[in-house]
Amino acid sequence: MRLLAESDIAFLEGVSPDLHKQLRNALEWSPLAATVVDGAPVSLCYTGALTETLWDISIHTLEAYRGRGFAVPCIAYMVGHMRERKKEPMWSAFASNRASLRLAAKLGFVEVDRMAVFLPPGSADLRTTQSINRETAQWPSLVKLGAD
């Protein structure tokens, strides 16, 4: 595990141009932690949102490395890093994103609230890419309780 710099992102293989852009943007205001395998980052964790006391976990594992346990140590590393800065983690995910919810539960997060997601007219319809119907178009917000 280690923190990455922008120069590390330039050499990421197997990621979309959109993810490259997202990671470059995240580095402007967030640390970026990575699980590294054979010298290459395979799982990346950064802040999706940041407040005075909380940060929202964003995690991305390259498709070829998913389901192999690389996200857990990456998230744990970033949680420790952010706690040194007096920031506690929170987790949000679409209700249909079962993999994300299982990962959150594995790390000790519990659901504490839900929020509705509203999309402006003409925007990309996330429900089609996330397989969410109108009744379940909510994000469970999860907050980890206690210390590691």
How many independent structural domains does the chain possess? 1
Which helix (H) or strand (E) segment holds residue 98: the answer is helix 98-106
Enclosing domain of residue 53: 2-144
Q: Edge to edge, what strands does the sheet with 88-92 contain?
A: 2-3, 32-37, 40-50, 54-61, 88-92, 138-144, 109-116
List, for residues 67-125, the tens digit of each pLDDT value: 999 999 999 999 999 999 999 999 988 888 889 989 999 999 988 888 777 777 776 54
Dihedral, CA of residue 66, residue 48, residue 37 and residue 76, to nearest 10 = -90
Given a cut of 60, whether residue 130 has pLDDT beyond it is no
CATH number at residue 116: 3.40.630.30
Question: Do 71 and 43 form a contact (C-beta atoms < 8 A)?
Answer: yes
Name which of 83, 76, 84, 85 is nearest 33 in CA terms. 76
Scanning the structure block, which residue is given the tokens 């940060």?
A: 55
Q: Categorize the per-residue pLDDT at 141 as very low, low, confident or very high, splitting at 50, 70 and 90.
A: low
